[in-house]
Amino acid sequence: MKRSDVSGFYKKSPDERWKIVREFGELEAAEIETIRNTGALRFEQVDRMIENVVGAMPIPLGIAVNFRINGRDYLIPMAIEEPSVVAAASNAARMARERGGFTTSGTGPIMLGQIQLVGVPDPQGARMTILAHRDEILSLANEKDPMLVKLGGGAKDVEVRIVDTKRGPMVVTHLVVDCRDAMGANAVNTMAEAIAPHIERWTGGRVYLRIISNLAVRRLVRARAVFAKEVLATDELKGEEVVDGILEAFAFADADPFRCATHNKGIMNGVDAVVVATGNDWRAIEAGAHAYAAWKSDGYRSLSAWEKDANGDLVGTIELPMPVGLVGGATAVHPTAKANVRLLGVKSAQELGEVIAAVGLAQNFAALRALATEGIQRGHMSLHARNIAATAGATDSEVDQVAEALVKERKVRMDRAKEVLAELRGKKKS
Ligand code: MEV
């Protein structure tokens, strides 16, 4: 039996790691070559980024065009494996330009660190004790990151909540930290850990968790765009009808969590692609977005809202947490992420977050417009067909021809792709 308990894997040389992986997976030499190809990164760089490294996993990087945000034009890098997303964002941004593009705003880069205190008989009393030490807590926290303080950030406030749990009331201190251009997890976690022993000493309780909260309700970004009804018209439907269709789609999502999960997923298609392209932590953004969608009102709701203005045009808005950074983390070391940030030309993490909100809104618009009109499949199919054609073995010069035939026949399937490819090659020979 093959065993996965490889002792000291992290200490082994890259050659030894590849050998282990190759033997375990019974991989071909070519497969190992593919895995170890680190693209724009040197092996030493990836080896420093995470543990037990054997290679890199490239995903396509596309550029969304047409974005005008707060009167400025942006080319937006999007890293994503899903076809149609970049095209849909670009198309939506083109339609938004008609009424000036996107306007955005944000709350500023405030994150919350949580310190969980248990075992106090008088939670209300403990709360008061902690709050009485506010200034001391802030200076203890800020001692941990003088650089952040110098830049105008740092711990700014202390809040204490009592949370009723299965194991009784817990006294949860929130350290309110301005993270400036950092995502902030390292700074906030270090501060929370530094404060914890003092909280124990003052209250006589026991601290367990000391960690940032991904429900970043003080680090929100917002975007708004107006879509002129005339530009929304399709071959079959008038602009007014498309507006109404999108309003029906939004109402459905906002009322039904089964639909809303997919609706918000469409938003995150755009959001995550830019988050990944800029080397940011997309899991933090995902967790924060969905938690916020549930926290902001009763039940799980849409991150966006769609309305009709007095002119009958479609107005879209979005608001979601956006803890992205420009310093620290992969953004500062990954060469592709660095180049992408330069291409964006953003001057602050806040500006990056607002750009991402605009992309999320554009993505949502594109999905709703497609869903409320011809359906999502037609647009998806041509790109999907190219993937199927390539997987069926079509070479670069054959892919387009095979894909075209599949779409025309409305049979975007592997078996048919293989047949079409064989026919094509047969024709070429004869
Ligand atoms: C697919 O990745 C995203 C959509 O399902 C979003 C939506 O349904 O709104 C098209």
Instruction: Provide the 8-state DSSP code for 182.
Output: B
Tell me if 264 sits within 8 A of 285, measured CB to CB.
Answer: no
Q: What's the order of all strands across the beta sheet hosting 61-69?
A: 72-79, 61-69, 102-106, 220-227, 314-321, 304-308
Determine the 3-state secondary structure of 320 from DSSP.
strand
Question: Residue 376: how many CB atoms within 10 A of its CB?
Answer: 15
Question: Residue 126: how many CB atoms within 10 A of its CB?
Answer: 23
Cα angle value 190/193/197 (rounded, 5°): 150
Q: Which atom of ligand 1 is nearest to the CA of 85?
A: 2
Tell me if 179 sits within 8 A of 187, measured CB to CB.
Answer: yes
Q: What is the pLDDT of residue 251?
A: 98
Q: Which atom of ligand 1 is nearest to the CA of 376?
A: 10
What is the residue-level pLDDT of the chain in tens, covering all 430 positions?
Answer: 899 999 999 999 999 999 999 999 999 999 999 999 999 999 999 999 999 999 999 999 999 999 999 999 999 999 999 989 999 999 999 999 999 999 999 999 999 999 999 999 999 999 999 999 999 999 999 999 999 999 999 999 999 999 999 999 999 999 999 999 999 999 999 999 999 999 999 999 999 999 999 999 999 999 999 999 999 999 899 999 999 999 999 999 999 999 999 999 999 999 999 999 999 999 999 999 999 999 999 899 999 999 999 999 999 999 999 999 999 888 988 999 999 999 999 999 999 999 999 999 999 999 999 999 988 877 778 778 988 999 999 999 999 999 999 988 989 999 999 999 999 999 877 7
Q: What is the pLDDT of residue 1?
A: 86
Q: What is the pLDDT of residue 235?
A: 87
* CA count, 13 A, side-chain hemisphere, 144: 20
Widest pairwise Cα distance in the chain: 90
Catalytic site includes residue 380: yes
Catalytic site includes residue 174: no
Atom 9 in ligand 1: which residue has the minimum CA distance? 263
Q: What is the pLDDT of residue 428?
A: 78
Q: What is the pLDDT of residue 382?
A: 77
Catalytic site includes residue 265: yes
H/E/C letters for each residue in 330-393?
Answer: HHHHCHHHHHHHHHHCCCCHHHHHHHHHHHHHHHHHHHHHHHHCCCCHHHHHHHHHHHHHHHCC
For ligand 1, mutation pick of 80, 263, 265, 267 (most atoms within 8 Å of CB): 265
Q: What is the pLDDT of residue 378?
A: 75
Cα angle value 368/371/376 (rounded, 5°): 120
Write down all domains in the chain, each with its CATH number in brackets: 9-49 (no CATH), 62-106+222-374 (3.90.770.10), 110-212 (3.30.70.420), 379-429 (1.10.8)
Atom 10 in ligand 1: which residue has the minimum CA distance? 367
